[in-house]
Structure 1
Amino acid sequence: MNNNTEALTSSVTMASVRRRVEQKADALFVVVAGKKIPARRVVIPHAEIEEKTFVFNDNERIQRFLNPKAVADILPSITESGIDKDATARENNGRFEVADGSRRRYTAILAGQDYPMLVADLTDEQMLQASRTGNNYKTTSEYEKGHTHQTELLTMNVSQCAEKNNVHRNIITRRVKTASLPDNLVACFPTLNDLSARMGADIYDLIFADKDVLRPGATAAIAKVEAEKQERELEPDDVLAIIKDAMTQPKPGGKVEPEAITPNVKIKHDADKGTATFQMKNADPGLVEEIKKLVLSWEGKQ
């Protein structure tokens, strides 16, 4: 083996085992925002993960939408070999609150593997920082970012929110609209990352008449998507197409067109609305008077 090969092998080996954990003598540390915090290692048996652990509430990743496809990048290796990178957590009322490692937690449950973690005395701010660092490995979705923006917008306007997140204000608006979609509709996408902010905003505009007010027919349109999902795996474009088709169908009876009585007279009668409109060209004053008398006579008989 030549020197270049040895150096490359050494580099790859070091990269594969590098952790945000340092071990000196018998001491363990987690590193959060450059600060080393003493920790202890705990391994939770797979049968006890759901009972003994939960995810930090301010972690941007929304746990209820995790599914096997959302963790397809780590599921095979964890199923075969277990988890080789400890989660970061703190103890909270006898349970362990996970900051970094929520996807590994879900995958361990799915794969029947134990869940190792480093438990440290972390503040809320350190928990938030650790969760953000952990989510950098697999970025959160536009939907999840939209939920974060909804909270931010409680104390700032859209322009300030855009500046804070270093994105255009239109992106903030699209993400917030996406985050406002009903859960049962969002669940029809393969994963949250398959729902773009642009598509989410388009669907929002189709099904919402105003903030939190669904348009007539929107509930039925969503039910149609759910029914289709039971029959086949939907792609993101399928979901949009089903919603668009359901929300843009013509109303029963179609558009009412005027009926020509004579070349100069048309009547538009909408039976559903109970209205009638006359259109007359070259209207003779005498004929107009006769129509008035007829209408008055008809109303007098009602």
Structure 2
Amino acid sequence: MLLAGLTGALLLSGCSRSQPPAPAPPEPAESKPELSLANFVGEDLRTLNKERKDELHSLLARTLPQEELADHPFNAQPWAVWRSTAAPEQNGFILFRGQHLFVIPGNSSATVHFFDRSGKLLNTVAFATGWRINIESATMRTDEALRGQLIEVRSGPAINGGDVCRQMYGVTGNRLALLWLEDSTGTLVPNTYFATNLTIGPLPPNRTAAEWEQALASTQPMLVLEALTWLGGYHLRDVNEGLGGAASEDLETAKLVAEFRQRPSVRKRIAELVQSKEQRTQRAAKLAIASFEPRR
């Protein structure tokens, strides 16, 4: 009887014994907010410290080829990130990468990337910014009269380079349009198309003559300026022979320009644009009219 009581007491004691507390879960590591291009908007990316440069590199490496991000003279380097208002529902970003002139003869260049708000790459536009011309800065602003965002690239001639000091580009959707070029006095400079190594900016979309007429008649001022600048540039005059070689303008394009310039409807439209109240459109139209006559 005594043994049974002791056994019961021991069993009772065993059942009521408190269990050791479970180990506390480890404290969660303090997480950093997710990096986004928004973290770099408005900064001069060329002056970032090493930590910030590494963060940007890590962010861009998610979408851009690794070979494009290497830090050497052959690659355009990140200069600026801006918010895009071309598609407000996307709240996207635009990354400008510039490459200085590093060998003469040669050209400077730029690459512009369009991203949606999640950082997904939508489009990339790479283009030359001048033969024997160096680029110095790139800024963005919204222009109410032109109804969109402009990217202004400041540039200057190197040894025997042309006097091109201001390059104006318009953001149209997810692409870039060359709107006009200026020299150091603010005078318009015709772009050179007959020799592709001398061409500044991205080429416009391939358009038929009818589509170019539609661009001249567009209600979007940037499309009109793009068309006038293309029409007013230096194109091949000899559409039968061309210059020959890989650096020559495509003959079919040169023939299109020559035919387009002779259309009465085109000349009438440009004469109307010369009377435009928008000063930049007016002077671009005057440049286009000057292209109708042989240039010396």
TM-score band by shorter chain is under 0.3
TM-score by length of 2: 0.24
Give the structure with the higher percent helix. 1
More relative contact order in 1 or in 2 (CA 8 Å, sep 6+)? 1
TM-score by length of 1: 0.23
